[in-house]
Structures are given as structure tokens and as C-alpha cells.
Amino acid sequence: MPGKLRTELGLASPDDFYESLIGAHEGLSDGQSELLNAKLVLLLANHIGDNVVLTEALAAARAGIEPDQNPSA
């Protein structure tokens, strides 16, 4: 079912963006990277604003990731 979330190419300059995304984490510890990612998600989510788009994005991101049955094992 086509939703409101755009999944065809929207990035103006995909390779440049990807490089800056990885580049933004340069020199950071895993913990700092985690913080950066979280800040980025919040900034972008606020920019989008539309709850329908955000809900679809959450579902699309979660798709195919199943929780471990027994995470400690």
C-alpha cells in the first residue's frame, strides 16, 4: 500500500550525503556516535513533523528486524 512516506529517491546528492553522514561521526566514541544519531533523528523528525510520515518511517525502519528470542544467550 503506497503511504505518505517517500521512498523513491529524494536526496539531491546521495553519495555526498552518505559521505557526510559517516564523516560526521569521525573521531567519536560509540557512545558519542549514539548521541549524534539520536540528535539527528530528533532534528529530522521535527523537521518532518507529520505524524503519519513518522509512523510509517518507524515501521519501515523496524521492518525485518526481529527481537532476539533470548537476548542474553
Partner 1 sequence: MPNAPDLALFAFAPCPELAGEVRRHTVAIVGAGPVGLTAAVDLALHGVSVVVIDGKSNVSEGSRAICWAKRSLEICDRLGTGQQLVDQGVTWNEGEVFHGDELIYSFNLLPEPDHHRPAFINLQQYYFEQRMIERATALPQIEMRWQHQASDVSVFDDHIEVAVETPAGIYTLECDWLLACDGVHSTIRSSLGLDFSGRVFQDRFLISDIHMEADFPAVRRFWFDPTFFDGQSTLLHKQAEGVWRIDMQLGWEADPEEEQKPERVVPRLRRMLGDIEFDIVWTSVYTFTCRRMERFSHGRIFFLGDSAHVVSPFGARGGNGGLQDADNLAWKLALVTKGDAPEALLDSYDSERIPATDENILNSTRSTDFMTPKSRVSRVYRDAVLNLARSHEFARRLVNSGRLSIPAIYSDSPLNTGDTEPFEQGPPPGAPAVDAPVASPQAPDERRWLLDQLGTVFALLAFDDGEMDWPRLQTALAQCQPAVRLLRICPPDAADTEGALIDRWDIAAFRYDGAPGTCYLMRPDQHIVGRWRKCLLPEIEDALNRALARH
- List interacting residues with partner 1 (CB under 8 A): 34-35, 38-39, 41-43, 46
In this structure, what DSSP letter does residue 4 have? S
Considering beta carbons, is residue 7 or 48 the nearer one to partner 1?
48
Considering beta carbons, is residue 35 or 58 the nearer one to partner 1?
35
Nearest residue to 5 via CA among 61, 43, 69: 61
Q: How far is the CB of 39 from partner 1 (least distance, A)?
A: 5
Q: How far is the CB of 1 from partner 1 (least distance, A)?
A: 29
Buried b vs exposed e over 3-12: b needs ≥16 C-beta within 10 Å?
Answer: eebeeeeeee
